[in-house]
Structure 1
Amino acid sequence: MREVQPPGILSSLASRQEYARHKDEIAGQTDALREEDRARVASYLRRGHVVLAILEYTTDILKDRFGTSGGSGILTDGTYYWRGGAADYVETYGASPGDAFVRHVDDGNGEPPPLTQDDVIDIDDYFMHLCREQLA
């Protein structure tokens, strides 16, 4: 089992309806990411490896500016995980996944590292462990 970390609210393991309850928290992060960092960080987020494919189409909970196929799904780079729609919030509103995550993106030259199928399975095991804990 390989643990991965959430970079803030952009990684909430919740359905679109549950995620909408975080509207004020996300709104409080708008423009927290510098304009010059948005495209690079959003591109990184979009190129993550899919761990939990959830086909739910989500819409922007702030101002309904975008929709995301698989927006509730979870992607990873092997260190962090985030929602499928995270890149849209970063790009559209400048919502920041946190300074540590931005440094992590820069340390990898903006490219998520390759993961093997075994890596992804180990990370999936971690999420299944989290789900079992929540149900207990």
Structure 2
Amino acid sequence: MTSTDSTMDERADVTIRCQDTPSVGVKFCDRFSYDRDSVHYAVEAWAPGLTARVNEAVAWVWDSDLAPFLEELAADYRGWDGERTWRTDDRALAVSAVFRSGGHVGLTWTLRPWTNAAGGWDASVTTWLEAGEQMSSFAADVRHFLAG
């Protein structure tokens, strides 16, 4: 299940919650841009006993960003074999997707702030949603969020 929240300045946040365990989720928020070539945003992930945040993931306009990856998953609503993956150039955010019988997609979100620092950490949560309309709606919400 996904939702889009708008604030007073019309900047939307996108939240995805696991349909199996609603206490697990991921939120895209705090979008900003320094130039016309990129969009910067924060990603928050949570589960019982876990809260994690990457303050600055970057989507480049000339690169394959998250929206096309999610749209491809949505287009393959009948399923696929194996795991599909995507990540930001700096590896601050990575997503792996699997398809399970019954028409559900599992998205494992891995956050890795400070990828080059000693003592860095990562955290992962998995959200499950329906491969059809829920996946398509989520992909559209992410595209809208990144487009600003």
TM-score normalized by structure 1?
Answer: 0.29
Which structure is higher in strand share?
2
TM-score by length of 2: 0.27
Greater helix share, structure number:
1
Higher relative contact order, chain-length normalized (CA < 8 Å, sep 6+): 1
